[in-house]
């Protein structure tokens, strides 16, 4: 293991990003990061609030050079940020309107960073605490996960070998995932530092935004996204520029959606598997592989139903919240998450499977089944289905779901409170349900 390693493992003349004004070389970017590092407040922790991946990347590298640790909140709600800052008082906000009024976007246009040349950056200690990623809270309260530079670097090198394999030469990437999210960090921030990847400055959310972002970068293109975003893209009716590879994570992806996306973009879809604690650990080409292949850097152990991941670059073993069946030394099947198992009237089911069936009802664009309280023994559902009545949805579910798992009530909503990465936290779900459930004063 090296005691120190480079912040950017690229040659100076390669492109690392596509900015508002054109391509940015590695050398220009490195000089900008070094320049910004001298202007940062003297604090231990930083909350990087830039939504633009290039701005976030610049802030992340500058703060890392300054020896600071980036805090990665599960969302950008003011209360979440306030709570984290209470826990980390030696912190500041980096972004438009952040602490000290520093806007690092101005630094890219500074003449002092315009010249190319040798990178000249100091190495980063492998033991440096570089980031703290907080879990999304989908299974409980957010908890911190410490990311040291060695962990991030070695994990990224594993990701490069897995996610970009068989892609020749430099690739240009658009990501719909916020860089504050671990999946966003792994692709739009870390991949450009350790592979021939140039990240687009756009942070597209709607399909039209994705279309425009892809039009603004040259081939070969890579799109990083989530099942929620891809479902919207597939149903948009828009035509898109060819994409060599689509990378998808954060939730189970249906085979039908994977096929639709490959037809739409003319490339292949690689689904990846991981968690905040371990990072990305496995992948599969969704339309032709059922089993997951573990990356070479990781080891999987399954004992008494509990799956554990280990790797030389991880601080310790990681207990997965997922149930998996090991089928070969580096392959496994995903069986669901432990907390997704439900037992009603002696019958066992999976919330993942039930939600998949709910979302496949014609006319349902989004939906979720859940228990309204920990003591509740009957599932409820909130559904986005503009042209259907709850009775229509229940009737469609009767043909494919055991009666004990039929949700009551089924409540129609305009949209579910998904985060920018497409996840649903239990708190956000229950908060909305309290407002729209029957008897709460809102139509159901």
Closest CA to 225 of 171, 281, 279, 270: 270
Residue 184 lies in a domain: yes
Average pLDDT over residues 294-321: 93
Whether 351 has a pLDDT exceeding 60, the answer reads yes
- Where does the pLDDT of residue 166 fall: very low under 50, low under 70, confident under 90, or very high at 90 and above? very high
- The pLDDT assigned to 394 comes to 92
CATH of the domain at 177: 3.40.50.12780
pLDDT digits (tens, 9 = 90+) for 285-295: 999 999 999 99
Residue 442 lies in a domain: no
- The pLDDT assigned to 341 comes to 74
- Where does the pLDDT of residue 184 fall: very low under 50, low under 70, confident under 90, or very high at 90 and above? very high
pLDDT digits (tens, 9 = 90+) for 104-114: 777 666 655 55
Average pLDDT over residues 180-191: 94
- Where does the pLDDT of residue 444 fall: very low under 50, low under 70, confident under 90, or very high at 90 and above? very low
Which of the listed residues 300, 335, 370 is the one where a domain comes to its end? 335
pLDDT digits (tens, 9 = 90+) for 208-251: 999 999 999 999 999 999 998 999 999 999 999 999 999 999 88
CATH of the domain at 395: 3.30.300.30
- Together in a domain, 293 and 380: no
How many structural domains is the chain composed of?
A: 2
Question: Comparing 347 with 100, which gets the higher pLDDT?
Answer: 347
- Together in a domain, 149 and 244: yes
Note down the domain range covering 253.
4-335
Whether 422 has a pLDDT exceeding 90, the answer reads no
Which of the listed residues 277, 303, 335 is the one where a domain comes to its end? 335
Average pLDDT over residues 253-258: 90
pTM for this entry: 0.82
Contacts of 406-410 with C-beta under 8 Å, sequence gap 24+, read: 406/379, 407/358, 407/369, 407/378, 407/379, 407/380, 407/381, 408/378, 408/379, 408/380, 409/380, 409/381, 409/437, 409/438, 409/444, 410/380, 410/381, 410/382, 410/383
Using CB atoms within 10 A of its CB, is residue 22 exposed (0-12), middle (13-18) or buried (19+)?
exposed
Closest CA to 274 of 142, 143, 178, 184: 184
Question: Comparing 343 with 167, which gets the higher pLDDT?
Answer: 167
Whether 129 has a pLDDT exceeding 90, the answer reads yes
Structure-token pair, residue 119: 């990178």
Structure-token pair, residue 290: 């059922």
Whether 442 has a pLDDT exceeding 50, the answer reads no
């Amino acid at each position: 293991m090296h005691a120190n390693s480079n912040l950017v493992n690229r040659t100076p003349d390669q492109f690392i990003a596509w900015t508002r004004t054109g391509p940015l070389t590695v050398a220009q970017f490195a000089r900008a990061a070094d320049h910004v590092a001298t202007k940062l407040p003297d604090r231990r922790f930083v909350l990087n609030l830039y939504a633009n991946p290039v701005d976030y990347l610049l802030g992340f590298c500058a703060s890392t050079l300054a020896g600071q640790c980036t805090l990665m909140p599960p969302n950008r709600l003011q209360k979440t940020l306030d709570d984290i800052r209470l826990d980390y008082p030696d912190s500041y906000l980096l972004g438009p309107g952040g602490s000290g009024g520093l806007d690092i976007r101005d630094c890219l246009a500074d003449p002092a960073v315009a010249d190319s040349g040798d990178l000249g950056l100091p190495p980063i200690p492998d033991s440096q605490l570089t980031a703290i990623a907080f879990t999304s809270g989908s299974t409980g309260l957010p908890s911190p996960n410490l990311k040291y530079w060695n962990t991030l670097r070695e994990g990224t090198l594993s990701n490069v070998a897995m996610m970009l394999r068989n892609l020749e030469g430099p690739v240009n990437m658009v990501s719909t995932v916020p860089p504050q999210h671990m999946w966003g960090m792994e692709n739009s921030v870390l991949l450009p530092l350790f592979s021939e990847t140039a990240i687009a400055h756009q942070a597209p959310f709607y399909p039209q935004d994705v279309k425009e972002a892809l039009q603004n970068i040259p081939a070969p293109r890579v799109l990083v996204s989530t099942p929620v975003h891809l479902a919207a893209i597939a149903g948009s009716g828009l035509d898109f520029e060819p994409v060599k590879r689509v990378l998808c994570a954060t939730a189970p992806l249906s085979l039908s959606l994977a096929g639709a996306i490959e037809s739409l973009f003319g490339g292949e879809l690689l689904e990846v598997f991981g968690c905040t604690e371990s990072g990305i650990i496995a992948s599969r080409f969704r339309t032709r592989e059922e089993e997951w292949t573990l990356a070479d850097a990781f080891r999987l152990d399954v004992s008494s139903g509990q799956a554990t991941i280990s790797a030389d670059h991880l601080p310790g073993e990681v207990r997965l919240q997922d149930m998996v069946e090991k089928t070969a030394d580096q392959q496994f099947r995903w069986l669901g998450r432990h907390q997704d198992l439900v037992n009603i009237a002696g019958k066992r089911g999976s919330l993942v499977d039930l939600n998949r069936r709910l979302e496949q009802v014609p006319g349902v664009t989004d939906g979720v089944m859940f228990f309204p309280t920990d003591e509740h023994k009957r599932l409820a559902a909130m559904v986005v289905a503009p042209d259907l009545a709850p009775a229509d949805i229940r009737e469609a579910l009767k043909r494919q779901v055991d009666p004990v798992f039929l949700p009551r009530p089924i409540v129609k909503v305009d949209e579910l409170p998904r985060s920018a990465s497409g996840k649903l936290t239990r708190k956000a779900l229950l908060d909305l349900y309290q407002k729209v459930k029957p008897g709460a004063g809102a139509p159901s």
